[in-house]
């Protein structure tokens, strides 16, 4: 089932949580709503679910207006950050809940409920835990139960609000890969909220970046990461170095240093901010005088696949650079080393 | 925010999530 929101606005008193938001999620897509706290992503999800009533705008499921329909009538599966499991019920009973509370006319027979719940328990890989109470499970296992419970009512749409927010980093990573695999298997239209850019970029088909109640950019993970539409998206998705400078006829200037900036070819002289990601630099021990600036190594962190090198540029600003392990060994970098740095790529946003 | 206020807030969030889940799963139930 596709989801479309048109001109959606929601206020809480004087605070505008979402402002004139338009978005379409195609059938079978897995979409991430990504943004900092207070950006409106959870409110948008709750409005889509029917847990909040919008002040303006419409929500359409399969091009049919659903704004006035109740949440249970929308056939929405909702998963929360804190699992929201019924603590007095076993794993089995939690998952069966949505089927057992149906009116007698639409309720499946007990044998069928049992069969469906066991299938879901298998799907979320908790076969040995069916009789346990939520308090006897780990956080990751509880969230899998919550997901199975949401899926039990065969929802047309699955909405997840910070589903991995309460879990530690390792379990988060495992679960988001598992969610991706599960989605590939089930193809239920799904929207999940996260403030973790790595999670959004790894799990989602498309990422919706939100800020202050508005959508900043919608795109596939490579699109939003490699071609951020706004300075906010650039800053929010991954580490970035900001340089205040100016651009003029295909050149960018930071102080007296001059760099090629093909993206600024037709622009007249303007004040600009240059955004350069840590991997978009080349470091050398010897200067060749071409589009380089001098810097001193302040700190080196070699843990991880890339070595993170904190530099102090010749004009005193800190610069974060990432180099491969091989390059790091070849350069023999350590605190205090003098280096020459050349940006290999940059994005420019004028004031 | 005091520790007590933070505790009250987190309990309220959990209760809100539980109630929303109940409503989402129960036909005929309204917010």
Distance from chain centroid for Cα A38: 15
Question: By the 8 A CB rule, do B20 and A78 touch?
Answer: yes
First to last CA, chain A: 42
Nearest chain B residue to A150, by CA: B25
The two three-digit tokens of residue A259, written as one number: 């760099």
| Residue B28 to residue A71, Cβ atoms within 8 A | no
Measure Cα distances from A252 to A144, A258, A267, B11 in Å.
Answer: 50, 6, 11, 53
Residue with tokens 């609000």: A161
Provide the shortest C-alpha distance from residue B9 to chain A (in Å): 13
| Residue B28 to residue A80, Cβ atoms within 8 A | no
pLDDT digits (tens, 9 = 90+) for A224-271: 998 899 999 998 998 899 999 888 888 888 877 888 877 666 667 888
For A300-323, b where at least 16 C-beta lie within 10 A, e where not — what string? beeeeebbbbbbebeeeeebbbbb
Calpha distance A44→A82 (Å, rounded): 19
Measure Cα distances from A273 to A230, A234, A261, A345 in Å.
Answer: 12, 12, 12, 14
Going across the sheet that includes A306-313, the strands are A281-284, A338-343, A293-301, A306-313, A318-324
Among A227, A232, A237, residue whose Cα is nearest residue A199 = A237
Q: Are strands A214-219 and A189-194 parallel, antiparallel or unpaired?
A: unpaired
Question: By the 8 A CB rule, do A130 and A90 touch?
Answer: yes
User: Cβ of B11 under 8 Å from any chain A Cβ?
Assistant: no
Calpha distance B24→A74 (Å, rounded): 9
Q: Which of B10, B17, B25 to mutate to test the interface with A (most CBs of A within 10 A)?
A: B25
Residues of B in contact with A76 (CB under 8 A): 24
Q: Return the pLDDT at A254.
A: 85
Q: Return the pLDDT at A135.
A: 95
Provide the shortest C-alpha distance from residue B31 to chain A (in Å): 7
User: Cβ of A105 under 8 Å from any chain B Cβ?
Assistant: no
- Is residue A56 within a helix (H) or strand (E), and if so which, with residue range? strand A56-61
Question: By the 8 A CB rule, do A326 and A314 touch?
Answer: no
User: Cβ of B23 under 8 Å from any chain A Cβ?
Assistant: yes
Provide the shortest C-alpha distance from residue B7 to chain A (in Å): 14
Q: Return the pLDDT at A313.
A: 93
Nearest chain B residue to A82, by CA: B14
User: Cβ of B29 under 8 Å from any chain A Cβ?
Assistant: yes
Alpha-carbon dihedral sign for residues A267, A270, A273, A277: positive
Is 90 exceeded by the pLDDT of residue A289?
no
Please name the residue ranges forming H helices in A129-273. Answer: 139-152, 169-186, 197-203, 221-226, 231-236
Higher pLDDT, A64 or A135: A135
pLDDT digits (tens, 9 = 90+) for B1-31: 788 888 888 888 888 888 888 888 887 776 6
Helix, strand and coil percent figures for chain A, each rounded to 5: 30, 35, 35
User: Cβ of A103 under 8 Å from any chain B Cβ?
Assistant: yes
pTM of the model: 0.86
Whether this model's ipTM surpasses 0.90 comes out as: no
Mean pLDDT of all residues in A338-343: 93
Which of A80, A103, A106 is facing B21, going by the closest CB pair? A80
pLDDT digits (tens, 9 = 90+) for A147-203: 999 999 889 899 999 999 888 888 889 889 989 998 999 899 999 999 999 999 999
Backbone angles phi, psi at A302, to 5 degrees: -85, 0
Q: Return the pLDDT at B30.
A: 65
SS3 A169: helix
Give me the helix-helix angle, A169-186 and A139-152, nearest 10°.
Answer: 20
């Amino acid at each position: 089932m596709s989801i479309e929101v048109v001109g959606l606005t929601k206020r809480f008193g004087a605070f505008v949580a979402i402002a004139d938001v338009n978005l379409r999620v195609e059938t079978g897509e897995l979409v991430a709503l990504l943004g900092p706290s207070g950006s409106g992503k959870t409110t948008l999800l709750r409005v889509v679910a029917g847990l909040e009533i919008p002040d303006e705008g419409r929500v359409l499921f399969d091009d049919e207006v659903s704004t006035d329909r109740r949440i249970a009538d929308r056939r929405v599966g909702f998963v929360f950050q804190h699992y929201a499991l019924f603590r007095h019920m076993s794993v089995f009973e939690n998952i069966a809940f949505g089927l057992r509370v149906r009116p007698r006319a639409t309720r499946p027979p007990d044998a069928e409920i049992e069969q469906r719940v066991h299938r879901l328990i298998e799907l979320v890989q908790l076969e040995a835990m069916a009789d346990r109470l939520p308090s006897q499970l780990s956080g990751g296992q509880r969230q899998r139960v919550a997901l199975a419970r949401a899926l039990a009512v065969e929802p047309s749409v699955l909405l997840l609000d910070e589903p991995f927010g309460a879990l530690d980093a390792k379990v988060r990573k495992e679960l988001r890969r598992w969610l991706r695999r599960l989605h590939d298997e089930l193809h239920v239209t799904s929207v999940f909220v996260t403030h973790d850019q790595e999670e959004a970029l790894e799990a989602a088909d498309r990422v919706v970046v939100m800020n202050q109640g508005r959508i900043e950019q919608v795109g596939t993970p490579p699109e939003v990461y490699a071609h951020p539409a706004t300075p906010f998206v650039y800053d929010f998705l991954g580490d970035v170095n900001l340089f205040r400078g100016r651009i003029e006829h295909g050149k960018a200037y930071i102080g007296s240093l001059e760099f090629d900036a093909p993206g600024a070819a037709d622009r007249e002289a303007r004040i600009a901010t240059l955004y350069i990601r840590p991997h978009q630099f080349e470091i050398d021990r010897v200067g060749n005088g071409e589009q380089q600036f001098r810097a001193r190594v302040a700190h080196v962190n070699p843990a991880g696949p890339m070595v993170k090198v904190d530099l102090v540029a010749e004009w005193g600003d800190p610069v974060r650079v990432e180099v491969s392990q091989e390059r790091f060994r070849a350069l023999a970098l350590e605190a205090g080393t003098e280096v020459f740095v050349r940006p290999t790529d940059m994005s420019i946003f004028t004031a | 925010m005091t520790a007590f206020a933070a505790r009250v807030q987190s309990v309220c969030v959990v209760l809100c999530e539980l109630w929303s889940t109940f409503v989402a799963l129960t036909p005929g139930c309204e917010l």
